[in-house]
Amino acid sequence: MTRETALDAFIARKTEIDERLARLQALSDEHFNAHPDDIDWSHVGSLAEYASLLKRITDMAFQEGEYAA
């Protein structure tokens, strides 16, 4: 694999992450499409799962938690 190919792949993955982050931010801005009158514990569970997955990602990216050096 050449350096240009690795760089192209890196940029493609970064673009994919940026797009997913933008979609998540937009969904969060809309309160995850949940109306306040409809909120139940399943919504809380879903957000807890999202938060857990995001924590794993940020821990990896920032070398925190179980990924601390």
- Whether residue 49 sits in one domain with residue 27: no
- Whether residue 28 sits in one domain with residue 2: yes
> On the CB side of 62, how many CA atoms lie within 13 Å of its CA?
8
- Whether residue 29 sits in one domain with residue 42: no
Q: Count of domains in the chain?
A: 2
The CA radius of gyration of the chain, in Å to the nearest whole number, is 17
Q: Which of 19, 45, 42, 43 is nearest to 33 (CA)?
A: 43
How much is the pTM? 0.83
Domain encompassing residue 48: 38-69
CA 59 vs. chain centroid, Å, equals 12
Backbone φ/ψ region at 63: left (φ over 0), alpha (ψ -120 to 50), beta: left
- Whether residue 46 sits in one domain with residue 27: no
Task: List per-residue pLDDT tens for the chain, 69 residues long.
Answer: 567 899 999 999 999 999 999 999 999 999 999 999 999 999 999 999 999 999 999 999 999 999 998
